[in-house]
Structure 1
Amino acid sequence: MIRRLLKTLGLDWYIAAIVGMVVLASILPARGDAAPVVATATKIGIGLVFFLHGAKLSQKAVIEGLLHWRLHGVVFAITFLVWPALGLGAASLPAWLVPAALAPGVVFLACLPSTIQSAIGFTAIARGNVAAAVCGASASNLLGMGLTPLLAAFLLGAEGGGLSLSSFEAILLQLLAPFVAGQVLRRWIGDWVTRHGKRLTLVDRGSILLVVYNAFSGAVVAGIWSQVSGFDLARIVVLCLVLLALTLGLSIWIARVRGFSKEDEIAMAFAGCNKSLASGVPMAGVLFPAATVGFILLPVMLYHQFQLMVCAALAQRYARRDA
């Protein structure tokens, strides 16, 4: 019933659930004795998310994807060079354009890898090069596990908010170690993970919802809603739309100028403009103090919603082209 209502309103139930976690944390944040319990459960959830990513990801798909080096080279350049430059430039704008409290979140958004599910799904709907989308998005996420923390540390360091050594230790223990464990065990549990993919997706997404709740609990206790106004949100919304338009337009322009096929153009367009909420939420939970994670994630969650709506419309338009 609830899913049908959300579909009628044009909303994704998972996005609605994330918003629900923000509302719940705003009303009933985890504080006092409950805070460390939620924090521990969140760390376990983060490890589980990356373990499942490791168990799901096909090593063959990544190797095959790297063979299309021209396409992936463009996507990686946009994701890990153009995007960070845009993010740092946006965060450097005057405070009357970009709220100072949310500027680090814009930089972190720019450092994230591309999505896997969304980029592949939209490419399939648009009748694009699905194989390239699968390989490129998977490789982007693999590189992102190392590049995102490094880029965030470098760029936020330039903004006066650098990450500590303990953050990288947490990356190794909470992100890379579970991921590698999933890859190692894939030989034995890969078929089981594939068979129970839908159920495990609920576990995956449930863990991310817990991270969102924990992040915004810390932010609410730190006074996020007294520091972020409705006008601040409106400015970040406009900035997210501008970033989406710039990266989407640039991806399509490069594809056409460089003579890529329409199918390759579609894969590049969606991979170039998409940013991974699934990777961003747990990474932020590991990299940043609890009191600041909510500020970091707000631009990420807003951008994710807009990329879904815009890319869904674009995919339908591509799909209607002449075969």
Structure 2
Amino acid sequence: MRNRLAIFADPMIAVLLFATAMAFALPASGDGRESAQSVSNIAIFVLFLVNGMRIARGEIARGFTNWKFFVPLFAFVFVAMPLMGLGLSHLAIGALPPMVALGFLYLGTLPSTIQSATSYTSLAGGNVALSVVGAALINIAGVFITAPLFALLAGNEAADIGSETVIRIGVILILPFILGQMVQGWTIEWLRDRKAQVAWLDRVVIGIAVYVAFSGAVGQGLATLFGATGWAIMIALVIAYLIAASGGAWITGGLLGIERKDRIAFLFAGAQKSVAIGAPLAAILFPAEVAGFVIAPLLLYHLLQLMIAAPVASMLADD
């Protein structure tokens, strides 16, 4: 019997909470912050190398053949979700610190998360293979799309993606992924036999990136900028975003006439957002003292999506 109330079952929730608490209690500062940033960059490189090793090229190729599913999914993730984020960002201006308000737009431009989207699609009785390929394709696209899309919608004053940033993205995110794709013939089966260890690699790297980002924000007074009203507003906006995203993905799948199993895959691959891309990319796009503000809505959204995904998946499985 599935436990509808097992909202804290995903270890990622504990990792994110621990990393955030450590940033508030013992933030990295001065030379320590530079060292932590270097460790974070190396960890991100390793994570994307492993991602390249484990996402099969054949799955990517097969994904492009199901255009009736993937074209609407791409449009939902990279058009509808960013526009919703842009609207919430404008709504939050004045009520929240400017870079936190901008974080709603950043959240909207991110791809979906592979691991939890696939897990909850399976729990709900959806098309797991389609979910795996869909989330993988969106994550690959997100490496190339998120940064320029965010810069386009945010304006140059908010996101100056110059040559130095492009080089960092290429070296830390794209290069290791390509190298992983090149050697995956020798590594993919080995990694598949070690899914648990790979999952913990994801969590540890994300935890490091979150810790570094929030350390910078704490140093800039994040704790004092937020009162009870500010937290309530941000939580309310994130909940509204999550409801709109989940409801929009489910309704879109119905309007397109997608069969139920595929519609479940569309729901989780479309509405869930990836802190695995978001936290590392923010560390590259923004200075350390800014990144923590920008990813605040993302972390809250990610925590809430994990908390509600299990009961939602259980309800869909019981229908």
Of residues 46, 49, 56 in structure 1, which corresponds to 2:47?
A: 49
Q: How does 1:229-240 map to 2 (within 5 A)?
A: 229-240=227-238
Per mean C-alpha deviation after superposition, the further-off stretch among 51-60 and 202-211 is: 202-211
Of residues 210, 218, 221 in structure 1, which corresponds to 2:219?
A: 221
Of residues 147, 150, 160 in structure 2, which corresponds to 1:149?
A: 147
Task: Determine whether 1:247 maps to 2:245.
Answer: yes
The aligned residue for residue 40 of structure 1 is 38
Structure 1 residue 161: Cα displacement: 3.9
Structure 1 residue 72: Cα displacement: 1.1
Cα distance in structure 1, aligned partners of 2:35 and 2:92: 39
Deviations 1:196-246 (A, max 9, x none): 232232223212211111111111112211222332222111111111111
Q: CA RMSD in A?
A: 1.8
Per mean C-alpha deviation after superposition, the further-off stretch among 288-297 and 156-165 is: 156-165
The aligned residue for residue 287 of structure 1 is 285
The answer as to whether partners of 2:114 and 2:132 remain within 8 angstroms in 1 is yes
One-letter amino acid of the structure 1 residue matched with residue 24 of structure 2: S
Structure 1 residue 132: Cα displacement: 1.2
- CA separation of 1:162 and 1:77: change in aligned 2, threshold 3 A: same
Normalising by structure 2, what TM-score? 0.93
The aligned residue for residue 175 of structure 2 is 177
Structure 1 residue 281: Cα displacement: 1.1
Deviations 1:14-60 (A, max 9, x none): 21222111111112111233222111111101101111111110111
Structure 1 residue 111: Cα displacement: 0.5
Structure 1 residue 314: Cα displacement: 1.4
Cα distance in structure 2, aligned partners of 1:32 and 1:256: 52
The answer as to whether partners of 1:218 and 1:293 remain within 8 angstroms in 2 is yes
The aligned residue for residue 79 of structure 1 is 77
Cα distance in structure 1, aligned partners of 2:69 and 2:157: 32
- CA separation of 1:313 and 1:118: change in aligned 2, threshold 3 A: same
Cα distance in structure 1, aligned partners of 2:151 and 2:93: 22
Deviations 1:98-144 (A, max 9, x none): 54241121111000001111111111111111121111111101110
One-letter amino acid of the structure 1 residue matched with residue 236 of structure 2: V
The aligned residue for residue 268 of structure 1 is 266
One-letter amino acid of the structure 1 residue matched with residue 164 of structure 2: S
The answer as to whether partners of 1:101 and 1:228 remain within 8 angstroms in 2 is no
Cα distance in structure 2, aligned partners of 1:191 and 1:8: 31
Per mean C-alpha deviation after superposition, the further-off stretch among 25-34 and 40-49 is: 25-34
Structure 1 residue 158: Cα displacement: 6.0
Cα distance in structure 1, aligned partners of 2:300 and 2:153: 21
Per mean C-alpha deviation after superposition, the further-off stretch among 7-16 and 239-248 is: 7-16
Determine helix, strand or coil for the equivalent of 2:258: coil
- CA separation of 1:31 and 1:94: change in aligned 2, threshold 3 A: closer
The answer as to whether partners of 1:48 and 1:204 remain within 8 angstroms in 2 is no
Determine helix, strand or coil for the equivalent of 2:49: helix
The answer as to whether partners of 1:167 and 1:288 remain within 8 angstroms in 2 is no
Bigger relative contact order, structure 1 or 2 (CA pairs below 8 A, ≥6 apart): 2
One-letter amino acid of the structure 1 residue matched with residue 225 of structure 2: Q
Cα distance in structure 1, aligned partners of 2:250 and 2:281: 29
Cα distance in structure 2, aligned partners of 1:228 and 1:135: 39
The aligned residue for residue 106 of structure 2 is 108
One-letter amino acid of the structure 1 residue matched with residue 55 of structure 2: L
The aligned residue for residue 277 of structure 1 is 275
Structure 1 residue 179: Cα displacement: 0.7
Determine helix, strand or coil for the equivalent of 1:102: helix
Cα distance in structure 2, aligned partners of 1:273 and 1:117: 14
The aligned residue for residue 3 of structure 1 is none
- CA separation of 1:64 and 1:308: change in aligned 2, threshold 3 A: same
One-letter amino acid of the structure 1 residue matched with residue 296 of structure 2: L
Per mean C-alpha deviation after superposition, the further-off stretch among 80-89 and 250-259 is: 250-259
Q: How does 1:186-201 map to 2 (within 5 A)?
A: 186-201=184-199
Structure 1 residue 167: Cα displacement: 1.5
The aligned residue for residue 4 of structure 1 is none
The answer as to whether partners of 1:132 and 1:267 remain within 8 angstroms in 2 is yes
